[in-house]
Chain A
């Protein structure tokens, strides 16, 4: 079963604009991670935020986490055509085993 639900399902923006993607989940988590998948390729880890963290930055990426609302957002600033990809949030639920549960993903298109 899929834990995370990303929103919107698809997003199209102009190069240079910011892209904001949201993820909601249902159960308690240890951490939440965002991955990128280019067409026909494997996934690439972007950023991890722990349950006791509220915000994290990495280059042009900014991730927030609100555990009271069970939601996270990924902001990509100054987008580039190369950011065109699918983005997935993945949650590591609290429990005995560490296991990532992925959402269905958001398709981001950045127009040059």
Chain B
């Protein structure tokens, strides 16, 4: 079974530029998550989708971050404009149905460096 795919793996941009990340979850998984992991910390949930609807985006900085999952399959996360503090690894995860005991499967992440 193919895992969660993310691209690009690495991205370097200058502050105030825009950037987009792509995620393709495991086939058939209804729930998709985007996490931000700053160096030396654990992942922090940014947004959770159930199919193409948003379940939780309470920790998403909505003035600069946006995410969509239009057809309930793959998803994009955008940052516009980027700040220095956005440097982090952005992890995508998916789970079958998103229940409390459902296992989350993580992709390899996109490492973003903002100069």
Residues on A lying within 8 angstroms of B by beta carbon are 2, 4, 30-31, 40-45, 48, 50, 88, 90, 92, 97-105
Contacts and interface: CB of A to CB of B under 8 A. Distances in A.
Contact of A104 (B41, B98, B107): B41
A10 to B, nearest CB: 11
Contacts of A103: 42
Given A42-B108, A44-B106, 8 more contacts: A2-B44, A41-B108, A45-B104, A88-B43, A98-B100, A99-B45, A99-B48, A102-B43
B91 A102 contact: no
Given A99-B48, A100-B45, A43 B106 contact: yes
B100 A45 contact: no
Interface string B72-115: 00000000000000000001010000111101111111000000
Nearest to B91: A42
Contacts of B48: 97, 99
10 contacts: A2-B44, A42-B106, A42-B108, A88-B43, A97-B56, A98-B99, A100-B45, A101-B45, A105-B41, A105-B42
Contact of A43 (B41, B43, B44, B98): B43
Given A2-B42, A104-B41, A45 B101 contact: no
A2 B98 CA distance: 21
Contacts of A101: 45
B96 to A, nearest CB: 13
Nearest to B108: A42
Given A30-B100, A45-B104, A98-B99, A90 B42 contact: yes
A44 B43 CA distance: 13
B55 interface: yes
Contacts of A41: 108-109
B12 to A, nearest CB: 16
Interface in B21-58: 40-45, 48, 55-56
B74 to A, nearest CB: 17
